[in-house]
Amino acid sequence: MTKIKVCGLRRPEDVAYVNELKPDYVGFVFAESKRRVTAAAAAKLASGLDPAIKKVGIFVDEDPEVVRSIAEQVPLDILQFHGHESPAYLESFGDKEIWKALPIATKEDIGQMARYPQNTLLLDAKVSGASGGSGVPFDWDLLSGADLDRGRIVLAGGLNPDNVAQAIEKVRPFAVDVSSGVETDGFKDYQKMKTFIEKVRLAPQ
């Protein structure tokens, strides 16, 4: 079954929602964003989280020591990077699970995936001035015919309750990642989150 990540938790209400609805992963944003949280705030939220839900930290071109400190403080299960991080940078975190975000707008962008053969890859829309969380989908047909290890693909970018089943059918990713698609007025919306998760779990696998 396709795994689910809900990104951008900020409030105790968000934790209550995910504890009830049980996505597989949640994301805390430590990069510049309207959803940014401090390490202390994330640690407090994480302390109330169902332990079965894995915690992902989102970073952009951050100092590795800062990443390690936050990962220990929260603590984080997975590190997700949205900047220009090199394979060597990612390898510096040893056996920590890494997700590398790649912005996709053209077939040529898919070629970047070969640089990161060991990592789970989060495919997101390429939007000028944004490092994820834009709410914009990319053309999923770009992936058709590509030689991809679908077991390493997390699909992001503009997913919502109305399009996620179609996205899963077209891309067959390991997981889907949602943030703005389950928000109303910039905050997580319980009903949208519930519907999104139901749509994923009912989608043909």
Contact 64, 74 (CB under 8 A): no
The confidence score (pLDDT) of residue 108 equals 87
Neighbours of 189 (CB within 10 A): 15
Catalytic-role residue among 14, 50, 95, 124? 124
Q: Which is higher by pLDDT, 32 or 27?
A: 27
Q: Domain total for the chain?
A: 1
Average pLDDT, the chain: 93
7 among known catalytic residues: yes
Per-residue pLDDT band for 37 (boundaries 50, 70, 90) equals: very high
The confidence score (pLDDT) of residue 134 equals 58
Neighbours of 132 (CB within 10 A): 25
* pLDDT tens readout for residues 97-106: 999 999 999 8
* pLDDT tens readout for residues 157-205: 999 999 999 999 999 999 999 999 999 999 999 999 999 999 999 998 7
* pLDDT tens readout for residues 74-100: 999 999 999 999 999 999 999 999 999
What the block records as the tokens of 7 is 């990104």
Q: Which residues of 72-87 are buried (b: 16+ CB within 10 A; e: fewer)?
A: eebebbbbbbbeebee
What's the domain range around 24? 3-202
pTM: 0.94
Q: Assign residue 124 the CATH number of its domain.
A: 3.20.20.70
